[in-house]
Amino acid sequence: MLVEVLTAAGRWNVEQPLLTYRVPEALANQLRPGQLVAVPYGERLDEGIVWNLLEGDELPEPLQEEGIELRDLYSILDPKPALLLHQLELARWLAEYYATPLAHAVFGMLTPGMLQRSRFVLKLSEEALKDAVQASSQETSLNLRALLGLLHNDGSLDVEQLKKMLGKTKAQQLLKEIKQSKLVVREPELVEGKARIKLRRNVRLLVQGEELLTWRELLEERLRKAESEAQAQSASQATPVSTSRKSMSKTEAPFNPWSMSASASATLAPPVMSKEGVVIQRQLAALDLLQQSINRGSPWTPSALCRATGLTPRQLQQLEDQQLVVVENKEQRRDPLQGRAIPSSQPLQLTGEQEAALRAILEAVEEGKANSVPRPILLHGVTGSGKTEVYLQAMASVIAEGKRCIILVPEIALTTQAVQRVAGRFPERVAIIHSELSVGERYDEWRRIRAGEIDVVIGSRSALFAPVPDLGLIIIDEEHEAAYKQSEFKPTYHAREAAIKLGEILKVPVVLGSATPAVESYYRAEQGRYQLVELKGRIGANLPPVEIVDLRSELRAGHTSIISRRLLDELGKVLERGQQAILFLNRRGAASCVLCRDCGFTALCEQCDIPLTYHATEHVLMCHYCGAQSKILHFCPSCRSAEIRYFGLGTEKVQRTIQKYFPEARLLRWDRDTARNRHAHEELLDRFANREADILIGTQMIAKGLDLPGVTLVGVVSADIALNLPDYASPERAFMLLTQVAGRAGRGSEAGHVIVQTFNPEHFSIDAASRHDYNEFYRIEIETRQRYGYPPFRQFVKFTYSHSNRHRSQLEAMKLCEKLKGWIQRLNLSETDIVGPVPALMERIRNKYRWQMIVRGPDLSRLLRVVDAPDWEIDIDPISTL
Ligand SMILES: Nc1ncnc2c1ncn2[C@@H]1O[C@H](COP(=O)(O)OP(=O)(O)OP(=O)(O)O)[C@@H](O)[C@H]1O
Ligand SMILES: [Zn+2]
């Protein structure tokens, strides 16, 4: 039998990623696709994934012609496949669609730290092992003799280690000598990656109940005997000392040798208790502790047990020899939810709308069972409409039929609440996959998933690649979120698209949930490619009214603070009533857009309809989309005012301002500076939810998914920054953000209220968001997209080049641009063009200058197949053109 293996080394071999090996007889029955195996690769061993098993022993013809010699597969590293069949198929699609080497796509699906490291070790040869004396009498250098000694002791030595010990040159010399001497062999080896099982040595009690009692009695009997012997020895002199557990009553003070009369203590030798007695007593104590720990479920390690009882390791060994206890290596699971109290929850009585949504999902499940591919379901439900409850009940149905589910959630902040809800509904049956987990935690979760020990995987986008057997349902909550797109590394996949592909492969429904669906998603639903299901009303509450405050008139009235009078007013009321408020601002892209503070005019590119960005260094305004430049403005071209400014502001400033107005208010700031990791997020959220603060001030992180009934007021400090980023998708992001933030208010019994401050009250995104009107927003936005040929009407691919030399970046960009033009022409691609090259919005990042261009066309797959630009970042379907 032959086997095609995708090796890790194949990550760079795009043409021929699969290598063929012969399968040794002994392994033939155990080999399965998706397994991790070790194969010889050049002189080394390399790790690979079994891709395909081939009957027969003949090489395929083209390989025969090349005169390739087949080598044997070396070993199976793990009998359980690391990737399931459907994952291999998904990887194939990822590689194809996102123009990524297959091995990249495949190994990227594994949990981090799994890949092994290939190395060489030195060992004594058979010859040297057989006849050590003879071997050492050979004529050898001092270094080799030292090595032989070391190998005799340790068995093997890593070649890299040798180089460190001896220095490179001497090590090379020695390696040369080794080759000739035949005393030492050099063997390839694989070393485990960082992801490892965590083992803990535990002492386990082997006897229970009656048997244990019998043992105790036996030991106690021996103890008494040992005691009386000891007493007999010192009978004439000492006060009898009884340390037997039974006879030691509470009132009796412990024996104190120093309290005796001088004469008595002088004769007190040897110690009152015989040595054997002490040991037995310690052993009895150990048995006690072990038995207690069974009930508490917290096992003892050997060293802790010895410390607690005074047993020496040898004495513990005696217990082991008597088969009373066993010391065993037990896996210790690293649980991401450890130490968190999660209240369990029961299914709620669904509303009519929720009921209909649930039915639609379950019908799609049935469709899949009848062997047709169900359409993805777009669950468009306003904020607070109870989408989560629909997911939970759909999952429960699927689980009841023995299947499993994946639910993706976008960000850490959201994950904490989402995880609680899911974990509370399916206690002990949920695994979490998230990039903030440690390698070990992820590895443990990954293995629980693969073993089928859980029903639900919840996590960020990479959770989609968890090896879930019998997957029956995929849910993507907040499907519009940018966090679902991987932008920097290959494959630059979008989890939504990958999920839909996975649903297709497995014939299971994919549910996309959002209060503000991505324009692309809604467009597909309109076209009938997705099934649209709507939840139009909030549960037990109304959508909060949104009030727009025009910051231009605030200024005209002489109020120059960043917090308007209306917002101050409402904040005061909230504090008075003991309710809570959230103040939101979007700091991304701060201090870059150009805005007239009198009329709200924003400078736009004439060709792209995208806001111009102010570049301080060159003192120009630039369109980061097409590269067009224009002179900076001193007066507003629209109203002639001199109040034209670039705009930016941060959470700290807002905090200071609010504190000035309300010195008594308890403020909580939540942004990337105050919440650096998931624990900080959880803590902040808990504090606010527990009403330890009155006002929460934060960036876009707090916009999403939070369900906090105490919040009655949401203030958007400035809606304009999101709006004015130079990107075609800015209006969409602004609308989503505003709608989502506004959706945080009034989710409890008290009515909510939203105040949006803006210089652009007429902008359609703000206007539509203020009326919670998704359809209105969508209608205008889709028209613009069509007019300008933006996605989903044309596909975009973003090319980015980074270099520490600015000129070099620009030059490379020009060169690739010419090549791209050539390829486009040769392939005769219609309606396909290139925008740029231009410097990236944030041109200099980590000391590298970035230049980029966007290729747009109806279908770029043929172009991507021929593009040869290994040093470029290529982002397929980028979520933004920035
Ligand atoms: N059928 C129901 N009966 C009573 N309460 C419900 C029901 N369904 C959901 N809820 C409650 O309504 C609140 C809002 O629900 P949920 O957070 O699931 O909404 P959502 O649609 O996910 O909102 P968002 O899009 O803003 O995240 C929650 O507190 C939830 O417990
Ligand atoms: Zn432009």
Instruction: Provide the residue ranges of all domains of the chain, joining segments of one domain with +.
Output: 2-116, 125-182, 199-247+270-331, 352-535, 546-590+648-788, 593-647, 795-876
Task: Check pocket membership of 475 for ligand 1, CB cut-off 6 A.
Answer: no
Task: Check pocket membership of 541 for ligand 1, CB cut-off 6 A.
Answer: no
> Between β-strands 44-54 and 156-158, what pairing exists: parallel, antiparallel or unpaired?
unpaired
> Between β-strands 75-78 and 36-41, what pairing exists: parallel, antiparallel or unpaired?
antiparallel
Going by C-alpha positions, the residue among 335, 485, 482, 342 that lies closest to residue 419 is: 342
Burial of 627 (0-12, 13-18, 19+ CB in 10 A): middle
Q: Is the pLDDT of residue 269 over 60?
A: no
Q: How far is the CA of 339 from the centre of ligand 2 (A)?
A: 53
The SS3 call for residue 580 is: strand
Task: Check pocket membership of 460 for ligand 1, CB cut-off 6 A.
Answer: no
Q: How far is the CA of 589 from the centre of ligand 2 (A)?
A: 18
The residue contributing the CA closest to ligand 1 atom 29 is: 707
Query: Does 267 or 470 have the greater pLDDT score?
Result: 470
Q: Edge to edge, what strands does the sheet with 377-381 contain?
A: 430-433, 456-459, 404-408, 471-477, 510-514, 377-381, 531-535
pLDDT at residue number 407: 96
What is the rounded distance in angstroms from the CA atom of residue 703 to the CA atom of residue 648? 19
Residues with Cβ within 8 Å of 387's Cβ and at least 6 positions away in sequence, in order, are 379, 381, 477, 513, 515, 535
Q: Report the share of the chain in percent with pLDDT over 70.
A: 86
Residue with tokens 């061993």: 45
What is the rounded distance in angstroms from the CA atom of residue 429 to the CA atom of residue 451? 12
The SS3 call for residue 810 is: helix
Quick: pLDDT tens for 14-34: 667 788 888 888 888 899 999
CATH class of 546-590+648-788: alpha beta
Q: Is the pLDDT of residue 629 over 90?
A: no
The residue contributing the CA closest to ligand 1 atom 30 is: 386
Quick: pLDDT tens for 424-435: 999 989 999 888
Asked if the domains 352-535 and 546-590+648-788 are classified in one and the same CATH topology, the answer is yes
Which range among 248-262, 315-329, 355-369, 421-435 has the greatest average pLDDT? 355-369
The SS3 call for residue 673 is: coil
Q: Is the pLDDT of residue 413 over 60?
A: no
Q: Is 817 annotated as a binding-site member?
A: no
Task: Check pocket membership of 536 for ligand 1, CB cut-off 6 A.
Answer: no
Q: How far is the CA of 523 from the centre of ligand 2 (A)?
A: 25
Ligand 1 atom at minimum distance from 704 CA: 27
Query: Does 511 or 259 have the greater pLDDT score?
Result: 511
Q: Is 636 annotated as a binding-site member?
A: yes
CB crowding 142-159: b at 16 or more within 10 Å, else e:
ebbeebbeebeeeeebeb
Query: Does 236 or 554 have the greater pLDDT score?
Result: 554
pLDDT at residue number 242: 43
pLDDT at residue number 353: 94
pLDDT at residue number 296: 74
Q: Which of 384-388, 500-504, 670-674 has the lowest mean pLDDT?
A: 670-674
Q: How far is the CA of 542 from the centre of ligand 1 (A)?
A: 12
The angle at the Cα of 99, spanning 95 to 101, to the nearest 5 degrees, equals 55
Other beta carbons within 10 Å of 170: 13
Tokens representing 514 are 């959002």
pLDDT at residue number 724: 66
Tokens representing 132 are 């050590």
User: Which ipTM was obtained for this model?
Assistant: 0.96
Q: How far is the CA of 852 from the centre of ligand 2 (A)?
A: 14
* Residues facing residue 615 across a β-bridge: 620
Ligand 1 atom at minimum distance from 743 CA: 26
- Give me the count of residues in the chain: 882
> In one letter, which amino acid is 356?
A
Ligand 1 binding pocket mutation candidate from 539, 543, 754 (most atoms within 8 A of CB): 539
* Residues facing residue 119 across a β-bridge: 189
Q: Which of 18-32, 134-148, 245-259, 322-336 has the lowest mean pLDDT?
A: 245-259
352-535 CATH, one of 3.40.1380.10, 3.90.1010.20, 3.40.50.300, 2.60.98.20? 3.40.50.300
CB-based contact 524:377 (threshold 8 Å): no
Residue with tokens 């699906």: 109
pLDDT at residue number 866: 83
Which range among 113-127, 300-314, 695-709, 772-786 has the greatest average pLDDT? 772-786
Confidence of residue 369 (pLDDT cuts 50, 70, 90): very high
pLDDT at residue number 151: 79
Q: Is the pLDDT of residue 636 over 90?
A: no
Query: Does 682 or 552 have the greater pLDDT score?
Result: 552
Task: Check pocket membership of 480 for ligand 1, CB cut-off 6 A.
Answer: no
Q: How far is the CA of 387 from the centre of ligand 1 (A)?
A: 6
Quick: pLDDT tens for 750-784: 778 899 988 888 888 888 988 889 999 999 999 99
Ligand 1 binding pocket mutation candidate from 355, 387, 708 (most atoms within 8 A of CB): 387
Q: Is the pLDDT of residue 489 over 50?
A: yes
The ligand minimizing its distance to the Cα of 609 is 2
Going by C-alpha positions, the residue among 361, 401, 406 that lies closest to residue 381 is: 361
pLDDT at residue number 67: 67
Q: Is the pLDDT of residue 620 over 50?
A: yes
Query: Does 649 or 652 have the greater pLDDT score?
Result: 652
Average pLDDT (495-511) is 96
pLDDT at residue number 510: 97
Q: Is the pLDDT of residue 660 over 70?
A: yes
Our measurement of the distance from residue 742's CA atom to the centroid of its chain's CA atoms, rounded to an integer in Å, reads 28
Average pLDDT, the chain: 82
Query: Does 366 or 234 have the greater pLDDT score?
Result: 366
The residue contributing the CA closest to ligand 1 atom 24 is: 383
**CATH architecture observed for domain 795-876:** 2-Layer Sandwich (3.30)
The residue contributing the CA closest to ligand 1 atom 27 is: 705
pLDDT at residue number 398: 96
Q: How far is the CA of 785 from the centre of ligand 2 (A)?
A: 15
Confidence of residue 247 (pLDDT cuts 50, 70, 90): very low
Q: Is the pLDDT of residue 297 over 80?
A: no
pLDDT at residue number 245: 41
Q: Is 405 annotated as a binding-site member?
A: no
pLDDT at residue number 14: 60
Q: Is 593 annotated as a binding-site member?
A: no
Ligand 1 atom at minimum distance from 381 CA: 21
Q: Is 306 annotated as a binding-site member?
A: no
Read off the pTM: 0.79
CATH class of 2-116: alpha beta
The residue contributing the CA closest to ligand 1 atom 23 is: 384
> In one letter, which amino acid is 14?
V
Task: Check pocket membership of 600 for ligand 1, CB cut-off 6 A.
Answer: no
Q: Is the pLDDT of residue 136 over 70?
A: no
The ligand minimizing its distance to the Cα of 607 is 2
Question: Hey, what's the torsion of the CAs at 412, 418, 420, 424, to 10 degrees?
Answer: -150
Task: Check pocket membership of 810 for ligand 1, CB cut-off 6 A.
Answer: no
Tokens representing 378 are 């777009």
Task: Check pocket membership of 516 for ligand 1, CB cut-off 6 A.
Answer: no
Query: Does 92 or 183 have the greater pLDDT score?
Result: 92
